[in-house]
Amino acid sequence: MSPTIFKKKGYRFFFFSREERRMHVHVVSEKGEAKFWLKPEIELAKNYRLTRVQLKEIEEIIESHYNELSKAWEKYFDR
Protein backbone atom coordinates (compact mmCIF):
# COMPACT_ATOMS: atom_id res chain seq x y z
CA MET A 1 0.00 0.00 0.00
CA SER A 2 1.30 3.46 -0.86
CA PRO A 3 -0.89 6.33 0.31
CA THR A 4 -0.74 9.44 -1.85
CA ILE A 5 -0.20 12.60 0.17
CA PHE A 6 -0.77 15.02 -2.71
CA LYS A 7 -0.13 15.63 -6.41
CA LYS A 8 1.46 18.76 -7.81
CA LYS A 9 2.97 19.79 -11.16
CA GLY A 10 2.68 16.25 -12.53
CA TYR A 11 4.37 14.64 -9.50
CA ARG A 12 2.74 12.26 -7.03
CA PHE A 13 4.09 12.42 -3.47
CA PHE A 14 3.52 9.26 -1.45
CA PHE A 15 4.77 6.84 1.22
CA PHE A 16 5.25 3.10 1.06
CA SER A 17 3.51 1.52 4.01
CA ARG A 18 6.17 -1.10 4.77
CA GLU A 19 9.53 0.57 4.54
CA GLU A 20 12.21 2.06 6.74
CA ARG A 21 11.19 4.28 9.65
CA ARG A 22 13.35 7.32 8.79
CA MET A 23 10.97 10.03 7.56
CA HIS A 24 11.01 10.28 3.75
CA VAL A 25 8.77 10.71 0.74
CA HIS A 26 8.67 9.07 -2.68
CA VAL A 27 7.93 11.10 -5.79
CA VAL A 28 6.92 9.74 -9.17
CA SER A 29 6.11 11.28 -12.55
CA GLU A 30 6.00 10.12 -16.15
CA LYS A 31 9.71 10.97 -16.44
CA GLY A 32 11.03 9.05 -13.44
CA GLU A 33 11.00 8.79 -9.69
CA ALA A 34 12.95 9.81 -6.61
CA LYS A 35 13.10 9.39 -2.86
CA PHE A 36 13.84 12.28 -0.50
CA TRP A 37 14.74 12.12 3.17
CA LEU A 38 12.71 14.60 5.21
CA LYS A 39 14.72 14.32 8.43
CA PRO A 40 17.13 15.34 9.71
CA GLU A 41 16.92 17.60 6.64
CA ILE A 42 15.53 17.44 3.12
CA GLU A 43 18.00 15.43 1.06
CA LEU A 44 17.87 13.36 -2.10
CA ALA A 45 18.16 9.65 -1.25
CA LYS A 46 17.60 8.05 -4.68
CA ASN A 47 16.94 9.21 -8.22
CA TYR A 48 15.77 7.28 -11.27
CA ARG A 49 15.83 9.27 -14.54
CA LEU A 50 14.86 12.71 -13.20
CA THR A 51 16.92 15.72 -14.29
CA ARG A 52 18.59 18.21 -11.97
CA VAL A 53 15.94 20.76 -12.91
CA GLN A 54 13.15 18.33 -11.98
CA LEU A 55 14.88 17.41 -8.71
CA LYS A 56 15.21 21.09 -7.80
CA GLU A 57 11.53 21.65 -8.58
CA ILE A 58 10.56 18.64 -6.43
CA GLU A 59 12.75 19.81 -3.56
CA GLU A 60 11.06 23.24 -3.68
CA ILE A 61 7.63 21.56 -3.56
CA ILE A 62 8.75 19.45 -0.59
CA GLU A 63 10.01 22.55 1.19
CA SER A 64 6.73 24.39 0.67
CA HIS A 65 4.69 21.35 1.82
CA TYR A 66 7.07 20.15 4.54
CA ASN A 67 4.56 20.51 7.40
CA GLU A 68 1.87 18.69 5.43
CA LEU A 69 4.26 15.82 4.64
CA SER A 70 5.50 15.58 8.24
CA LYS A 71 1.99 15.52 9.66
CA ALA A 72 0.87 12.92 7.11
CA TRP A 73 3.88 10.73 8.01
CA GLU A 74 3.17 10.97 11.73
CA LYS A 75 -0.52 10.28 11.25
CA TYR A 76 0.07 7.30 8.99
CA PHE A 77 3.00 5.62 10.75
CA ASP A 78 2.22 6.44 14.38
CA ARG A 79 -1.22 4.89 14.29
pLDDT at 41: 97
Query: pLDDT (tens digit, 9 = 90+) per residue, 54-74?
Result: 999 999 999 999 999 999 999
Rounded to two decimals, the pTM is 0.94
Q: What sign results for the dihedral spanned by CA atoms 29, 22, 37, 79?
A: positive
Distance of CA 35 to the CA centre of its chain: 6
pLDDT at 79: 60
The phi, psi pair for 33, rounded to 5°, reads: -150, 160
Low-confidence residues of the chain: pLDDT under 50: none
pLDDT at 73: 93
